[in-house]
Copies of this chain bind each other. A is one copy, B any other.
Amino acid sequence: MIIVMRTGSNRDQVDAVSNRLIELGYKTNPIFGVEKSIVCAIGVPEYDKMEAADQLRSLDGVDDVVFISKPYKFVAKELRGKTVVDVDGVKIGGDEVVMMAGPCTVESEAQLMTTAEAVARGGAKVLRGGAYKPSTSPYSFQGMGLPGLELLKEAGRRFNLKVITEVMHVRKVEEVCEYADILQVGTRNAQNYDLLREVGLSKKPVLLKRGMTARLEEWLLAAEYIASAGNERIILCERGIRTFETHTRNTLDLSSVPALASLTHLPVIVDPSQGTGRRELVPPMSKAAIACGADGLLVEVHPNPDKAIKDGVQSIDIKAYEKLMPELGQVAEAVGRSLGIPVRV
């Protein structure tokens, strides 16, 4: 931690800063520059002193407090190699790129089973589908709830797929744990700390979507909430951020994939459906995601997108999915990985 003093700050102010740092357990090293002075604080990790930094910032004569180490520990790269999240045999973060596919929302048994059969046949290892759905409008469909969860579990069993579904309510975590193999925390709940802790207390793998307004560090701190509650089986999912661009629903920030690789040991996957909001962009952005190192994809597939209850506009149909999978397999091969399906030569 470096405390930068304002131009014109005096010796007493520098001393006051030093003394406060010493109270906090730091060793200090003040440096008197030509224009400015600074005080360096050494010896205590910064994630243990978040409030202290805030307090220092408002001491007389202080211009800024600059962090030089990371504010998180469990999810930080520095401590270890890459984590592979093992979901009963499906390994996320290993050599294989894992496809998670399925409808935005579970609508009916027929819709789900048709989709599940197709995505399994195409090579997906995980079935996605919403039973509890967040919606910006209270008048939009909010999901089937428990019957949706039951259908997901049955589809997973029948087609040998792991199941991922979103959990939105702390009071439903236990229920969702009974039916899903991976708990998904959505972008709107990316700073719902109550929910983050609750899924952290569960034993299930958690897929944590990026908050639509989250910087990488804030995203990692959200993951740290889960990890510090005892659950380190976390998969990060880039799903686009909010920017001024309106052509796409979000701006898919693929550079987060390689950037996170140097910041955290957690696996990172990409959701090109939410990330673009346009089905015609899903295939090219899926390829791009794999090309820059994503450990998996989360893709919306629907047997009849034009009749989908939600987000049909960003869902690809089964035919498009079947065409896409071998193309993705080739891109995976090109970057030294595999999609776990046969590749045409």
Q: Which residues of A contact B (CB under 8 A)?
A: 2, 4, 7, 29, 31, 33-36, 38, 40, 42-45, 47-48, 50-51, 54-55, 57-60, 63-64, 66, 68-69, 71-72, 78, 134-141, 168-171, 188-189, 191-195, 212-213, 215-218, 221, 224-225, 228-229, 241-248, 251-259, 262, 275-276, 278-281, 284-285, 287-293, 305-313, 315, 327, 330-331, 333-335
* This chain's copy number in the assembly: 4
Question: Once the chains are docked, how many angstroms separate the CA of A312 from the CA of B58?
Answer: 6
Task: Please determine whether A259 and B255 come into contact, CB atoms closer than 8 angstroms.
Answer: no
- The answer to whether B253 and A245 touch across the interface, beta carbons within 8 angstroms, is yes
Distance of A246 Cα from B255 Cα, bound (Å):
12
Cβ contacts under 8 Å, A217 to chain B: 247
A331–B291 Cα distance when bound, in Å, is 7
Q: A291-B284, A293-B284 are in contact. Are A255 and B251 (CB under 8 A)?
A: yes
Q: Which residue of B lies closest to A343 (CB)?
A: B334
Contacts of A136 in B (CB 8 A): 191, 218, 221
Kindly identify which residue among B4, B252, B313 contacts A58, using a CB–CB cutoff of 8 Å: B313
Quick one: which of A44, A169, A244, A293 has the most chain B CB within 10 A? A244
Inter-subunit contact B244/A258 (CB<8 Å):
no
A257 to B283, CA, bound (A): 12
A-B contact pairs, 16 of them (CB 8 A): A2-B2, A36-B68, A36-B69, A47-B139, A51-B310, A55-B312, A58-B315, A168-B193, A189-B192, A192-B192, A192-B195, A215-B246, A241-B243, A243-B244, A290-B291, A333-B334
Contacts A47-B139, A139-B48, A251-B241; is A191 near B188 (CB within 8 Å)?
A: yes
Bound Cα distance A224, B135 (Å): 12
